[in-house]
Structure 1
Amino acid sequence: MGKRRKTTVDIRELLHRIQKRESDRAIARQLKMNRKTVAQYRRWAEKHGLLEKELPSVGELSELLEETFANSKPPQNCSSVEPFRQVVERLRGQKVEVAAIYQRLRERGYQGSLSSVYRFVRSLEPHEPDAMVRVETTPGEEAQVDFGYAGMMFDPELDKWRKSWVFVMTLCWSRHQYVEFVHDQKIETWLNLHRHAFEYFEGVPKRIVPDNLKAAIVHACWHEPLAQESYRECALHYDFLIAPCRPRTPRHKGKVEQGGVHYVKRNFLGGREPTTLQKANEDVLAWCNTTAGRRKHGTTKEVPLERFQVEKKCLGPLPRSRYDVAVWKELKVGRDCYVHFDSAYYSVPFRLVGQSVWVRGCIDKVEVYTADHQLITTHCRARKAGERVTNVDHLPPHKVPGLTVTRAGCLEEAKAIGTCTHKVVASYLEHRPEDRLRTAARLLRFGKQVGAERLEAACSRAIRFGDTSYKTIKLILKKGLEAEPAPVRKAAPPAETFVRTANELFGALVGGVSWK
């Protein structure tokens, strides 16, 4: 008769409509039952004389139904899998899946459908409801945080519409919350949002429950989660515990999931025209202190702002020094002795090439640490993308000279050595079309090995002989010829042999004596 599928209240309403002489078709349509079921209950009610008198109460009617059907089952079709009950029970005891059981039954002559097997297994293994326990905390003990997509908002700096996300931190006891919209979910953004929230509440809760997003948790695990290094440093600065919820279990932070992000989307963002990020953040803070903060909360039945006045006294104090947002990243030192951090390059001692180091980026500086967090070096933070911040001492010594040489530097160094050296170096730099800057730098480096005085003397000697090539000057210095005096040139002897006067040579031309 289907009585086990209907509640006693449903049956009592059905009998009441039958007493009012409504047709089976009308009752079935109103109560969404099958007409045959209505007809069966009509016959059952007539048999027990329920249509001629006032209907019994729900309790009395329930007892009558139990007495009537105590030893009988409601009409139903026998499952096509029933003959194979023992086989199914044995296979399910071995943890065999239903689809595999269906194939085994087919091999034994089963002609039914896979759905029938599923229904039969469900009847063997009734589902037990997953009971839950609501966890309530004491004032100041816990806050839950979450991100949620907030649609498109206009970015005046880039002059275009961009995706935006809403950050919500909800105090678990009072349900008071801080809301802010952002254009990204970077680590530095995540940390700044925490700082803004703590300053808004004027205190710090003992424990923060985040989702397992990458800005907070590196390794999501229920027993031993690993927090992101930057988030760990933030927690130590503000003295709060990180307690991420179980992976893929958003109900563990239901106070911010439903009463936070979803509430902001339904109430604040619902029906609102898209605007700029700055305007949305101005409006949402006012909304937190009015609409959200002054409403009667559905669970606590109290006003969040009024409860916050109690919880505020239980929050931890803000640190004396304001938090300097520091981002940690584990990076590998490239072959060029640099690490790439936040679109810029920072030098690292060449001995660490190929190794992993920890980089800590603050507002105005970048620090590099070893794997065990020993400080290696500190740089001023780059001000533009692609900039290289270099400490020359980090580079291989034999590679440094070629990087620092300039034309002006060579001329200045040569001038300090002496006039002749300056003249030789200037001739190298003025040479065309080949570029002889490296030659000039090589000459000056060689001069450092032998001394400025010897280099000046060698250049002087080379100039006197009219050969100032690098090869010649280097040969002079190697042989120690720069100290030798220049050879004295002897005057040419007077020509005496076969010498004739001009009159003898050209006299015949002017009528003089001819020369034989």
Structure 2
Amino acid sequence: MFPYRQILELHDEDRSLRSIAAMTRHSRQKVTEVIRLAEKRGLKCPLDEEMTDVWIEDFLYPEKKLEASGRQMIDFDYLHEELAKPHVTLTLLHQEYEKKAQEQEKIPYAYRTFTEHYHDFAQKYKATMRIKRKPGEVLEVDWAGSTLFIIDPDTGEKVKVYVFVAALPCSQLSYVEGSLSMDLASWIKLHQHTFEYMGGTTQIIVPDNLKTGVTKHTSKELVLNKTYEEMVRHYHSVVMPARVRSPKDKPSVESSVNTVSTWIIAALRHVQCFTLEEMNQEIQKKLEEFNHRSFTKKEGSRWSAFMEEEKFALTPLPTKPYQMSEWRTGKVQPDYHISVKSMFYSVPYEYIGKHVDVKVSDDAIEVYFNHMRIASHPTLYGKYGQYSTVKDHMPDNHKHYVEQTPQNALDWAAEVGEHTLFVVKFLLDSYGVEKQAMKSIFALKKLERTYTAYEIERACKMVHQITNRPTVKSIQTLIKNNKKTDAEKAFAQQKQTVKNEHAFTRGASYFGGKNK
């Protein structure tokens, strides 16, 4: 019998490969092969008494038993590696195995025996089983039924902490974190923390049918929350919620919830924390113990299984993390603005009266109509009631007003005349709010549509002569009266001119009467 045990024990004594080969009378190549295979399988000294050379050979070379049967050998390591690839199944691998057996004129194992042998191999040598789940394929998420508590330092009251649990079905790695709320913002943030903990994302995310993630889920229709769907798309994944009242669709997280309830939630029942940060620090300590705890029926732990057989299959994280946004609906008001958190943002005036979708984030407000973005604004902060207006969104007659600035108003007044300039300066100085002053100046400037610059200047001059506190209303009234007076004078002058031009006409005096 080959001296497997002696080779491993000599290697454990730090003997050189040359000396081990000389003492066992076998080649260094064979000695190196046995040592490396033992390291790969996790076989380490000291060895138990039952680990004889026969036992070690079966452990290191499980295919030799199959070879003795005269059938086609099964390369178990190859199967395990291939099953990690997308869309590869044991059925496909068995067909390839049968084809190879036929080419070598050997008898293949039937599919059922083939899968049983692989199952025994994976259970004995591998931390993960890939018959049902592929590495990096699925992440199951849920809220634990049990909760934790923190103590309010001011009132001494207990504040409930909800526990978020995520699990990878392949390696059974779990992530746990506490939250004071189960709202959408917390749901998104906890997903991001999970991805950061794992260092990547899975192809599929399986949540429960909670309202923060799934708007509607029937046999015919699935409607996800827009923000949740957008976040998942940012991380190159998809959401496939479990069927309603079907916990078997996410058995790993259901199992993890029960285990977490024991090893984390129950283990922290006597721990008092005064902030959520303190509580999560305690949770992280228990989580590390949980993920590094050895399996009871096979070698390794959740963490070692994840690092060795699943982490490589995760989708890399994007360069920038997802920025939380919220979707709302709104109606465009007659002033072509929409209201978002008591702030007002413009959209093209053509959409007045239309219902639009609004994407709200910390940095930007984006407005969509029929899935097409029609407006974008920086998010306003501070005093309520602020306006963000884009000039191109305004009707032409409104643009003229927006273009007005104090300097433009002064330049225009200087062109009209010194008395108009005096009025404009007075209006700018007298109002406490510049916007109110510009509103009055705009009303004064609108007189250009009806009156000449001379008439405006003359009215301003007359008002200035009367008072040092002119108003636009007084100028408007005076310019109208001046227009009316000018019209009457013009008519009288025209009448006199006609009379002078027809002086030869005989009147009553010509006939001895009196002029009336």
> Which TM-score tier does this pair reach, normalised by the shorter chain?
0.5 to 0.7
Show the counterpart of 1:382: 380
Q: What residue ranges of structure 2 are gaps of 5+ in the alignment?
A: 1-129, 491-516
Q: Which residue, 298, 302, 310 being the options, matches 1:304? A: 302
Determine if the alignment matches structure 1 residue 325 to structure 2 residue 338. no
Task: Kindly indicate whether residue 278 of structure 2 is the aligned counterpart of residue 279 of structure 1.
Answer: yes
With over 3 angstroms needed to count, the CA separation of the structure-2 counterparts of 1:285 and 1:375, relative to structure 1, is: same
Larger Rg: 1
Task: Provide the C-alpha distance between the structure 1 equivalents of 2:344 and 2:142, rounded to a whole number of angstroms.
Answer: 33
Could you tell me how far 1:386 is from its partner in structure 2?
A: 3.6
The reply to whether residue 190 of structure 1 matches residue 187 of structure 2 is: yes
1:166 equivalent among 163, 166, 171? 163
Structure 1 CA distance for aligned equivalents of residues 342 and 283 of structure 2: 33
Change (3 A) 1:156 1:341: farther
- Equivalence map 1:95-134=2 (5 Å): none
Q: Which residue of 1 aligns with 2:217?
A: 220
Q: CA deviation at 1:464?
A: 5.8
2:143 to 147, 152, 158: 147
Cα deviation, 1:223-266, whole Å, max 9, x if unaligned, reads 54122222222222211121100123334223223313x43343
Shift, 1:369, TM fit: 1.1
Give the match for residue 460 of structure 1. Answer: 461
Alignment of 1:247-258 (within 5 A): 247-258=244-255
C-alpha deviation, 1:186, in angstroms? 3.2
Supply the distance in 1 between the matched residues of 2:184 and 2:452 (Cα, whole angstroms).
55
Query: CA, structure 1 residues 140+480, in 2 after alignment: closer, same or farther (shift >3 Å)?
Result: farther
AA of the residue aligned to 1:167? F
> How does 1:38-117 map onto structure 2 within 5 Å?
none
Where 1:259 maps in the other structure, the secondary structure is helix
| Cα distance in structure 1, aligned partners of 2:452 and 2:419 | 14
Deviation at 1:413, TM superposition (A): 6.6
After superposition, the CA RMSD in angstroms is 4.2
Deviation at 1:305, TM superposition (A): 0.7
Number of aligned residue pairs: 343
Identify the residue that residue 27 of structure 1 maps to in structure 2: none
The equivalent of 2:476 in structure 1 is 470
Tell me what 1:237 maps to.
Answer: 234
Partner SS for 2:320: coil
Secondary structure of the corresponding residue to residue 374 of structure 2 = strand
1:335-414 residue pairs with structure 2 within 5 A?
337-341=336-340, 344-371=343-370, 373-384=371-382, 386-391=384-389, 393=391, 394=393, 414=413
**Which of 258, 264, 268 in structure 1 is aligned with 2:264?**
268
What code does the residue aligned with 2:386 have?
A: R
**Alpha-carbon distance, 1:176 to partner:** 0.9
Alpha-carbon distance in structure 2 between the residues aligned to 1:359 and 1:326: 10
SS across alignment from 1:198: helix
What is residue 127 of structure 2 aligned with on the other side?
none
The one-letter code matched in structure 1 to 2:356 is V
Alignment CA distance shift 1:411-1:157 (3 Å): farther
List per-residue Cα deviations over 1:122-172 (Å, max 9, x = no partner): xxxxxxxxxxxx994121111101124634446799998654322222111
Q: How far apart in 1 are the matches of 2:155 and 2:457?
A: 59
Alignment of 1:403-482 (within 5 A): 414=413, 417-424=416-423, 441-447=442-448, 450=451, 455-460=456-461, 463=464, 469-476=475-482
- Aligned residue for 1:378, secondary structure, equals strand
Alpha-carbon distance in 2 for matches of 1:351, 1:398: 14
Deviation at 1:383, TM superposition (A): 2.3
Which of 177, 181, 187 in structure 2 is aligned with 1:180?
177
Query: Is the 8 Å Cα contact of residues 174 and 256 (structure 2) preserved in structure 1?
Result: no
Cα distance, 1:458 vs structure 2: 3.9
Partner Cα distance (1:363, 1:427) in 2: 41
> Using the alignment, how far apart are the partners of 1:299 and 1:400 within structure 2?
76
Q: Partner amino acid for 2:315? A: G
The partner residue of 2:133 within 132, 137, 145 is 137
User: Which residue of 1 is the match for residue 49 of structure 2?
Assistant: none
Amino acid at match of 1:178: Y
Q: Match for 1:267: what amino acid?
A: W
1:425 deviates by 5.1
Q: CA deviation at 1:429?
A: 8.6
Distance 1:416-1:303 versus aligned 2 partners, 3 A rule: farther
- Cα drift, residue 341 of structure 1: 3.5
| CA displacement, residues 198-231 of structure 1 (integer Å, 9 cap, x when unaligned) | 1211111111001112222121124541222222
CA–CA distance in structure 2, aligned partners of residues 165 and 397 of structure 1: 54
Distance 1:179 1:418, change over 3 A: farther
Is the contact made by 2:420 and 2:457 (CA closer than 8 Å) also made in structure 1?
yes
More displaced, 196-205 or 423-432? 423-432
For 2:253, give the aligned amino acid. Answer: V
Identity %, equivalent residues:
28
Shift of 1:302: 5.3
Tell me how far 1:389 sits from its aligned partner: 3.6
C-alpha change, 1:269 and 1:232, in structure 2 (3 Å) is: same
2:373 partner letter: L
**TM-score normalised by the chain length of structure 2:** 0.56
User: Contact 1:246–1:252 (CA<8 Å) still a contact in 2?
Assistant: yes
Letter in 1 for 2:193: H
Q: List per-residue Cα deviations over 1:32-87 (Å, max 9, x = no partner).
A: xxxxxxxxxxxxxxxxxxxxxxxxxxxxxxxxxxxxxxxxxxxxxxxxxxxxxxxx
Matches of 2:276 and 2:395, distance apart in 1: 48
Alpha-carbon separation, structure 2, partners of 1:447 and 1:170: 73
Query: Match for residue 202 of structure 1?
Result: 199
**Deviation (angstroms), 1:366:** 1.2
Amino acid at match of 1:444: K
Q: SS of 2:310's equivalent?
A: helix
Q: Secondary structure of the equivalent of 2:192? A: helix
Contact 2:148–2:163 (CA<8 Å) still a contact in 1?
no
User: Secondary structure of 2:362's partner?
Assistant: coil
Check the 8 A contact 1:331/1:359 in 2, yes or no: yes
Using the alignment, how far apart are the partners of 2:181 and 2:458 within structure 1? 66
Matched residues in 1 for 2:440 and 2:366: separation? 38
Q: 1:293 aligns with which of 266, 291, 294?
A: 291
Aligned 8 A contact 2:263 2:286 in 1: no
**Separation in 2, partners of 1:157, 1:331:** 40
Q: Which amino acid aligns with 1:445?
A: K
- How far is the alpha carbon of 1:401 from its aligned partner? 8.6
CA contact (8 A) 1:458 1:477 kept: no
SS at match of 1:269: helix
1:430 Cα offset (Å): 9.5
TM superposition score normalised by structure 1: 0.56
Larger mean Cα displacement after TM superposition, 362-371 or 448-457: 448-457
- Seen in structure 2, the aligned counterparts of structure 1 residues 180 and 469 have a Cα distance that, compared at 3 Å, is same
